[in-house]
Amino acid sequence: MPFSSGRYVITSVGSDKPVGGRADEDADFGPKDIYSDDASVAMWEIEARPDGSYVFKQDGAPVSAMGTSLCAFLHYKEEQVAKWQIRDTDDGNAYEILKADGSAGWTVIGSKVNVQSLSGGDADRFVIQSTEF
């Protein structure tokens, strides 16, 4: 199912917790880790690109992999913005979020969201719900 640009809430199927940055994160301008726990701010902007990929943003900051960590980058250059694909899972109620080239995807380990090869389990699946009706 293609997603249109808009505001969404993302929840991890595996943890049944919201996915996002933390409101109590330090105030410096460095990359901010993304988590799946009760302290996470789950509101996302998803921007649909003409090539069929997506850009995910938290409070206007695009997310990208830094090593294996998924992070929001407050300071970035447009060419550094990661593009992602959203892939339906077999049950149709959840999605996998993958790098645009399909080489790795979001997965929850502990409470952190990482970017790595997917195992096919619930830790790799996310519910993405529009907040616009």
Nearest-angstrom CA–CA distance, 8 and 56: 10
Domain locations in the chain? 6-130
Give the three-class secondary structure for 124. helix
Question: What phi and psi, each to the nearest 5 degrees, are found at residue 110?
Answer: 65, -120
- Let me know if domain 6-130 sits in CATH 2.80.10.50: yes
pLDDT (tens digit per residue) in 22-57: 877 766 778 899 999 988 877 999 999 999 999 999
Nearest-angstrom CA–CA distance, 131 and 133: 6
pLDDT (tens digit per residue) in 74-95: 877 787 789 999 999 877 789 9
User: What's the pTM?
Assistant: 0.91
- The DSSP code sequence of 37-80 is STTEE-EEEEEE-TTS-EEEEETTEEEEEETTEEEE-SS--GGG
Q: Give the pLDDT of residue 53.
A: 96
